[in-house]
Amino acid sequence: MATMDRRTAITLGATIFAPAALFPGSAKSEIYARHAGLEVMPGVRRIDLGRWPAALPNYRSIVMTDYVVAPGAGFPPEKIRFDTIYHVLEGELRVKKGREFRVPAGGVFVGVTGETREVTNPGQVDTVMRVIALKAR
């Protein structure tokens, strides 16, 4: 193997490690701008995505909404009004629904009409929760 002088080693090292110095943190995706949507309670913003007719036997329509939940914020205990699918797109949630559990990014949980649920963001970053409500006939 050929020998390498000190100047070449420094140049090579700078070339390899320069991107790490310029971009110190990992890339963090943000789905929504900081103040997107409507603030529905302190630390919780709602972004309405749409309503569609349901091609399911017991449902009239499907409503999809994203909620951006700031660290420490959340939803107080409340009864679920419609059968619902919850998908955590970013961040993490702590859910109390009969029992307490955590839902990480990419996780899904469901709510049945009449159940009581409480949701909070225990993390250090905003959490994006997609809510797909199945509205009955």
pLDDT in tens, 92-112: 999 999 899 999 999 999 999
Sign, Cα dihedral of 19, 22, 25, 26: negative
Q: Determine the Cα–Cα distance for residues 70 and 133; give it in Å rounded to an integer.
A: 22
The identity of residue 39, as a single letter, is E
Q: Determine the Cα–Cα distance for residues 93 and 71; give it in Å rounded to an integer.
A: 10
Tens of pLDDT, residues 51-108:
999 988 899 999 999 999 999 999 999 999 999 999 999 999 999 998 999 999 999 9
Distance from chain centroid for Cα 30? 9
Cα-trace Rg, the chain = 22
Q: Determine the Cα–Cα distance for residues 5 and 19; give it in Å rounded to an integer.
A: 23
Which residues is 94 bridged to in the sheet? 102, 120
